Amino acid sequence: MNPEEGPTRRGFFGNLFVAWAIFLAGVHFAGAGAVRFLFPNVLFEPPLSFKAGVPSAYAEGVDESFKSSHAVWLVRTLSDPLSDRTGIEGMYALSTTCTHLGCIPNWQSADVKFKCPCHGSGFRMSGMNFEGPAPRPLERFRIVRADDGQILVDKNQKYQWEKNQWTSAEAYLPV
Neighbours of 114 (CB within 10 A): 24
Interface of this chain with ligand FES, residues 124 to 153, rule: CB under 6 A: 132-134
Q: Which is nearer to ligand FES, 61 or 133 (CB)?
A: 133
Exactly one of 121, 126, 151, 159 binds ligand FES (CB under 6 A); that residue is 121
Contact string 14-43 vs ligand FES (x = CB under 6 A): ------------------------------
Q: Give, as one character, the DSSP assignment of residue 92.
A: E
Tell me the closest approach of the beta carbon of residue 126 to ligand FES, in angstroms: 17
| Ordered DSSP codes for 96-138 | -S-TTTS---EEETTTTEEE-TTT--EE-TTS-EEESS--SPP
Tell me the closest approach of the beta carbon of residue 98 to ligand FES, in angstroms: 3
Exactly one of 67, 70, 85, 100 binds ligand FES (CB under 6 A); that residue is 100
Exactly one of 21, 101, 112, 146 binds ligand FES (CB under 6 A); that residue is 101
Count the alpha carbons within 13 Å of 54 in the hemisphere toward its beta carbon.
Answer: 5
